[in-house]
Amino acid sequence: MFIFVWLFILTALAACVANSRIELPESVNTPLIPTASLTSSPTLRPSQTPTRVVSPTPLPSPTSTPRTHLVKLGETLGGIAWTYGVSLDGILTLNPDVNPNSMKVGIEILIPAETVTPGNETPQPTPINIPIQSLNCLSDSQDGIWCFGWLANTTQQLMESALVTVNVADLDATQVFSETTVLPLNLLLPDESLPFAVYFEAPMPTEFQSSAQFNSSIPIDADQIQSERMSIKDVAVELMDGSSATIKGKYTIPAEFSQVWVVAAALDQDGQIIGLRRWQSSDKAVNEFTMTVYAVRGKIETVKVFAEAQP
């Protein structure tokens, strides 16, 4: 019975297959044409400049690197500072081991990066280039060195507190000694030359070379003068074997001044200064002076005398 039923089912299925046809859609036989798939993309727009974000903490600024300078013969720290437009204190701070009065030629000096005068410092007067004349340096009996010379005001400007720097070095220039001095009188008139003197304490080289340069002064107007050049009367000079000279004279001090300075420069036969002395008094009851000037070396031939009244 089971076999009969199974045969009947197979016969029925065969009849259905023979009498029916499966219809496939026409698209089955249509070849597929590949097409690019378009996807939505954002429209391109000009990029905007990024907004700068300001940091609440300021970024550190780069530190300026100090410059260096090799010391040459005749140079001073003050002159080097003026050349680079920096303060002398700034150079001394960067070079604590350098002795400004005894610098070796060829040593390296650090120059600060500053280019303007700090606000807490008083600007110094602009130096005027006026010449040093007849520099004469002489060894004394104590192995020290005296240097004399003239500062000539070749300008038409009144000046006060003029400074001169003198340098002494051995012949090989392995070491340089520098000293700065102020003129023995405060006022330097136009077209006037005044003497100066600098002393270098022992021990100093027995053979040496020297140089000098004008350092600075304060230009003033006529209505700002606090000193006054005085004339000396009845001047008498007594030479003592040429090694010394005694000078006597009289003066009249103006009422508005309280003291007087008298300077005597001893000259040899070549006109070189070989001795210098200043006498001063604040006794207004006295109107005459006596002073002695000594020659470091050589023989005194003449003496020049200058006087100034001080407030």
- The CATH number linked to 267 is 2.60.40.3230
**Average pLDDT score over residue span 67-94:** 79
Q: Does residue 199 sit in the same domain as residue 250?
A: no
Q: Is residue 36 part of a domain?
A: no
Q: How many domains does the chain have?
A: 3
Q: Is residue 137 part of a domain?
A: yes
We report the CATH number of the domain holding residue 84 as: 3.10.350.10
Answer with the one of 45, 79, 111 that is the final residue of a domain: 111
Please tell me the distance from the alpha carbon of residue 66 to that of residue 89, in angstroms, as a whole number.
14
Q: Does residue 205 sit in the same domain as residue 280?
A: no
Q: Does residue 220 sit in the same domain as residue 152?
A: yes
* pLDDT tens profile 148-207: 999 999 999 999 889 999 999 999 989 899 999 999 999 999 999 999 999 999 999 999
Q: Does residue 291 sit in the same domain as residue 247?
A: yes
* pTM for this model (two decimals): 0.63
Query: Coil, strand or helix: which one is 43?
Result: coil
223: left (phi over 0), alpha (psi -120 to 50) or beta: alpha
* pLDDT tens profile 229-238: 998 999 999 9
Domain that holds residue 71: 67-111
Q: Does residue 158 sit in the same domain as residue 216?
A: yes
* pLDDT tens profile 28-51: 444 444 433 333 334 434 444 444
Alpha-carbon distances of 145 from 13, 75, 205, rounded to whole Å: 143, 19, 9
Does residue 236 contact residue 183 with C-beta atoms inside 8 Å? no
Q: Is residue 170 part of a domain?
A: yes
Per-residue confidence (pLDDT) for residue 263, from 0 to 100:
97
- Give the end-to-end CA distance of the chain in Å, rounded to a whole number: 159
